[in-house]
Amino acid sequence: MAIYVHIPFCKSKCYYCDFYSLPRTQLADSFVEAVGNEWQLRRDEAGTQADTIYIGGGTPSQLTAAQFARLMSFLPAPLAGAEVTVEANPEDVTAELIDAWRACGVNRVSMGVQSMVDSELAAVGRRHDAAGAARAYDLLRRGGIDNISLDLIYGLPGQTPETWQRSLDALTDMQPEHISAYMLSYEQGTRLYAMRSAGKVRETDEDVLLDMYARLCGTLACRGYEHYEISNFARPGRRAVHNSSYWQNKPYIGLGPGAHSWDGRARRANPHSLSGYLDNLSKGKVFYETEEETETDRLNDMIMVSLRTSQGLELSKIPPRFRADFDANLKLIPAGDIVSDGVRIVIPEDRWLVSDATIRTLLV
């Protein structure tokens, strides 16, 4: 089973981020011990070995080398050759930390670059600059990490198609194995949302976003990356194995406050409360809420995640009792928004950015 650990610490909050995190690294030692306790309470959900391990957040690179090693000592040994990923921010990356990660079995790093234009980074509260991102990437390479994923965001305040192209060119010149590119969203409760409400920033026009998306797809295709999920691009053989398990609707277990789990029938969510997490786990109590899913829920989940990918949805996976409703919905989709070979249906790459309406129409 895939294992995800949510590290709920950040030095500061990026303006667009709505993931659960706090600037309270003084609690990191207690948190690490609590994760060990949670794993002991829930290990029967996942078995004795890990297919993949993903340490995300928050900012996992805020953990010291010793804290990270302690955390990993609690988790099961990954299968031979299994993908073990840690997320990092460029300003945290050091040779010492890389050595600690590698000693713990980490073989993949996902680093949040977001832009290679300093003014765009400053506009959303990032703590690094473009030169810092390049230095961190070089440190990772020299430290022996041969599987690196870099994140970008388009639609940032002040960003233009031309500056977006600069970021694309700079990142692809680095030649990472994987690139994730996300359209900026204004999530309620974030500083960016408040800034927009106050008229301090404006959302990027849809036509400009479509231009940026076209540049993204074209540039990465020319540089040898395959577009295998709406926001993800990889060199051949370098797709994100852990994240692909989500899109393939495979079971996974999430540890830490804010983490989610899926066992194939029910979803579990750990509440967004570090204090509650520490308190419950210190008393030997699990800290999650459970939502049982109906067969309809499970089918709709599968439709949603499958159509985010270049593999699409296999029609044979639609249970017979839902097939008539599904086929009726399929007939409502405008020509060109869905491609079918009779075995599977796929949303074309040029329609992925506006695919939400298509997916909603297909839900039963």
pLDDT in tens, 230-272: 999 999 999 999 999 999 989 999 999 999 999 989 999 999 9
25: confidence class by pLDDT, cuts 50, 70, 90: confident
Residues facing 83 on adjacent strands? 52
Specify the pLDDT at position 79: 86
Residues facing 53 on adjacent strands? 3, 84
Q: How far apart are alpha carbons 1 and 5 in whole angstroms?
A: 13
Pair type for strands 2-7 and 252-255 = parallel
Specify the pLDDT at position 280: 97
The pLDDT of residue 78 is above 90: no
The pLDDT of residue 92 is above 90: yes
Report pTM. 0.95
The pLDDT of residue 153 is above 90: yes
Specify the pLDDT at position 46: 78
The pLDDT of residue 44 is above 80: yes
Q: How far apart are alpha carbons 313 and 247 in whole angstroms?
A: 11
> What is the mean pLDDT of the segment spanning 149-169?
98
Cα dist from 278 to 31, 33, 335, whole Å:
7, 9, 52
Query: Three-class SS of residue 112?
Result: strand
Pair type for strands 339-340 and 344-346 = antiparallel
309: confidence class by pLDDT, cuts 50, 70, 90: very high
What are the start-end ranges of the H helices in the chain? 28-42, 65-74, 95-103, 118-123, 130-142, 161-174, 191-197, 206-222, 241-247, 274-282, 295-306, 320-330, 356-362
Quick one: residue 199, left, alpha or beta (phi over 0 = left, psi -120 to 50 = alpha)? Answer: left
45: confidence class by pLDDT, cuts 50, 70, 90: confident
> What is the mean pLDDT of the segment spanning 116-123?
97
**Residue 326 neighbours by CB under 8 Å, 6+ apart:** 318, 362, 364
Specify the pLDDT at position 77: 86
The pLDDT of residue 47 is above 90: no
Contact 240, 109 (CB under 8 A): no
- How many CA atoms are closer than 13 Å to the CA of 323, on its beta-carbon side? 8
Specify the pLDDT at position 211: 97
Pair type for strands 252-255 and 266-269 = unpaired
Q: What is the pLDDT of residues 191-239, one digit of tens each?
A: 999 999 999 999 999 999 999 999 999 999 999 999 999 999 999 999 9
Specify the pLDDT at position 302: 95
Share of the chain above pLDDT 70, in %: 100
357: its two tokens: 């309406």
CB atoms within 10 A of CB 276: 13
**Residue 5 neighbours by CB under 8 Å, 6+ apart:** 35, 53, 54, 55, 56, 60, 71, 75, 254, 255, 256, 259
Compute the CA torsion angle 206, 208, 211, 215 (nearest 10 deg): -120
Q: How far apart are alpha carbons 348 and 350 in whole angstroms?
A: 6
> Edge-to-edge strands of the sheet including 78-88?
226-229, 232-234, 178-183, 148-154, 108-114, 78-88, 50-57, 2-7, 252-255, 260-262, 266-269, 289-292
277: its two tokens: 């997490």
Q: How far apart are alpha carbons 280 and 35 in whole angstroms?
A: 11
Contact 171, 113 (CB under 8 A): yes
Q: What is the mean pLDDT of the chain?
A: 95
